[in-house]
Amino acid sequence: MSVLVTIVMWFAAITGVIFISYTAYGLFAYFSGIPLDSLNIEVAEDNNGVAKLISGLLGGIVAIPGIIYVCVQLRRILSTLAKGDPFVPENAGRLTRIAMAILVMQVLKYVVVVCLGMIFSDAEVTLRLDLITWASVAALFILAQVFREGTRLRDEEKMTI
């Protein structure tokens, strides 16, 4: 599992750098009047195309570091599992941090959508509630609490004769 998480982390980092660079170049080219045909970037002449580029750029800037952060936390949890003791207090904190990272990414996504809707009034901006993501955040907070309680019970058991 650790290898898989590492692959996902590096894949996200590499594709994120490519995507952010490509989108940033598209915005730069659009605003400076450079033809975009060389990179096959298609931008509409209205604000909707610019809004899509900006939302893509901001989405990448928010999502890519978030994905990498979650993968780093998962690798740390997996390292304790490989050592044979996943019920350590640090893992409860790691699960909480993963939940917080996903929560922050979702909230920032909504902020970006609302701001783009306010800036580009003619752009097609849709705010969607992702129930699966919010349920995952809740599940991670619950699992963090389970890990805290499991650690406490194990430590309590060690003290009994």
What are the residue boundaries of the structural domains of the chain, listed by start? 2-159
Residue matched to tokens 């009034």: 121
| Residues 6+ positions from 43 with CB-CB distance below 8 Å | 26, 30, 36, 49, 50, 52, 53
Q: Decide if pLDDT at 55 tops 70.
A: yes
The band of 13, judged by pLDDT with boundaries at 50, 70 and 90, is very high
Q: Residue 46: is its pLDDT beyond 70?
A: no
Rounded to two decimals, the pTM is: 0.81
Report the half-sphere exposure of 6 (CA within 13 A, side-chain side).
Answer: 6
Quote the Cα angle for 5-11-19, to 5°.
145
The single-letter code of the amino acid at 160 is: T
Stretch 70-99: mean pLDDT: 92
CA of 80: how far to CAs of 23, 86, 101, 124, in Å? 38, 5, 21, 46
> What pLDDT was estimated at residue 28?
82
74: left (phi over 0), alpha (psi -120 to 50) or beta: alpha
Q: Cβ distance 112 to 98 under 8 Å?
A: no
